[in-house]
Amino acid sequence: MKNNKRIETEEQLIQVLEEFFCDVTEEESIENVESELRDLGYDLTKLEKKGRDIAKLHIANSPLNWRNKSKKEIELAKANLDKARIHEDQELDRKSIIDEIQMILLSLGNKNSNFVPAHFRNFETASDNDLSSMLEQLKYLTSDQTNIEG
């Protein structure tokens, strides 16, 4: 810390801190480090706050942050769910819904055991709402499988 230039950017602050902490040996106490920082004209409270703020900002915006990953996964799931929904303007009749369900199940074959119960469903006794719901769920699950594989 021989250089006493004014720190104007976060990058400069991090660089100075990195250099400073790389010079610290195990023998040096925290009190010595704090003393040296004060001697150099730093307000430790402000420095600590700025360091925390920078860390929080970068953690919050990091693509490695689980919250950011979860947001992206939720957005993707919502988009897939919206694609899978049978919208009122589609007006599929019962036979069309059953045919589409069977087509999806046939295309899946034995790829995924999660869909096996749907293979043995008695479509004739199911209500129209049940069939529509099953079709939406199959579309969603198959779109999810496509996104996982691809």
Could you give the angle at which helices 44-61 and 10-23 cross, rounded to 10 degrees? 110
CA distance 102 to 123: 10
What's the N-to-C CA distance of the chain in angstroms?
A: 51
- What's the pTM value of the predicted model, to 2 decimals? 0.42
CA distance 53 to 148: 36
For residue 12, the one-letter residue type is Q
Model confidence pLDDT, tens digit, residues 83-119? 777 665 567 888 888 898 888 888 877 666 566 566 5
Mean of per-residue pLDDT scores for the chain: 78
Model confidence pLDDT, tens digit, residues 52-86? 998 899 888 887 887 777 877 888 878 877 777 76
Residue 40 in this model has a pLDDT that exceeds 80: yes
CA distance 147 to 143: 6
pLDDT given for residue 110 in this prediction = 63
Residue 136 in this model has a pLDDT that exceeds 80: yes
Instruction: Kindly state the average pLDDT of the residues 131-149.
Output: 72
The domain ranges of the chain are: 10-61, 66-149
